Amino acid sequence: MAITKTNTLDCVLICPRKLKGEPFDGGDTKIQSIEKILSLIGQSYFFSSTFYWKKHPYSTFRDVCKAIPKARNIFVITSLNGIRVLLPLADRKRKRGQKLFFFMIGVGPFNVFWKKQKNCASFFDYVRDEKHWEVKTNTVYAKALRKADVVAVETPTLKRMCEKILGLSNVIVVTNFREPSNFVLKASPHSGLRLLFFSRILKEKGAYEAAAAVSCLRKEGLDVTLDFYGPVYDEWGKEFVSNLSNGITYQGVFSGGFQEKYCLFSKYDCSLLPTRLTEGVPGAIVESFMSGVPVICSSFALTLDIIKDGINGVLFSGGVSELTSAIKKVALDKALLDKLKAGAIDSSRTYDEKNAVDLFREFLIP
């Protein structure tokens, strides 16, 4: 929507919104989900995109400055760099009575803090052991985040970290939400174990480990198959998908809405997420739960806020050997698989967008 001197809308979303045709990722889906919630509660809104600021820095920040006074609620939705730049800018440019929200994509500044720790082997160790949580209340990140009226993070652990490390008192949990499905739990219509990898085809996402584990199990004679869906970004990914064979296939990039995606997921028994990245609440986990599909997932930092081992998924640590064992455990125990599927459906209620609707109504200026 065009910005004029006279129109005042409910919300402006300052975020790295991409043009159609650009490859989408989890951050883009989060922006779309927030956009939908605003529509559901009848809020008018417009975007001020920061995605192309490196190519057009002057025009980008000029447009952001013009957009800020035009709405009662200001949403800054960004990852690390936006905390230092966009939040202070929005605070300086807003008028009295405007409310400033910050939605943290991923884990925010905590990955930076962990990398500066000398005696902490992994981000998982950093998150799970509070002895590593050095107080950072005077950092540029803490000072910027205090300028927001509300800071929204994806998990209870991130909220606790914001409070204890950054000294914030303005933090709420708004998890990675999705529209619900009407999926009904049914017995698998096939024999064997059908696995899905639905993510970017990256080495860091554990694509190699997923394929290697399934290949090991097939060599043992187990009826396990794996389909990959997702964009390929680099030469490693192109070579990887071109060499898949023997019950392991690349199905390309999925296109469709959430209901169509749930229908696709529901054809599988489990989804795999052997990621090594520091992530918040991956959308692939939420969409699996919405489809009644449990997740076999690596123990990345915030896993325990999402995956309950033996309830809605299976956790593993390490590499190919540990992932192979986790898959085999599910493949050989149908009662466990049925339990995990029921747990996934139960967990989906946590991520229902109706919960987000209630939160937005509570905090927004009408």
State the DSSP string of 159-228.
HHHHHHHS--S-EEE----B----------SSSSEEEEEES-B-GGGTHHHHHHHHHHHHHTT--EEEEE
Separation of alpha carbons 350 and 169, rounded Å: 23
Q: What is the mean pLDDT of each run of 10 residues along the chain (366 residues)?
A: 53 82 71 91 90 84 90 90 89 93 90 86 86 90 95 94 96 92 66 94 94 97 97 94 95 92 94 87 92 93 89 93 97 95 94 92 85
Q: What is the pTM of this model?
A: 0.89
Separation of alpha carbons 18 and 68, rounded Å: 19
Q: Are 30 and 105 in contact (CB under 8 A)?
A: yes
pLDDT for res 280: 80
State phi, psi for 240 to the nearest 5 degrees.
Answer: -60, -55
User: Could you tell me which of 261, 279, 262, 286 has the C-alpha nearest to residue 177?
Assistant: 286
Separation of alpha carbons 61 and 66, rounded Å: 9
pLDDT for res 6: 41
Domains of the chain (ranges; CATH) run: 9-178+352-363 (3.40.50.2000), 193-351 (3.40.50.2000)
Of how many residues is the chain composed? Answer: 366
For the packed helices 207-219 and 235-242, what is the interaxial angle rounded to 10 degrees? 20
Q: Are 159 and 104 in contact (CB under 8 A)?
A: no
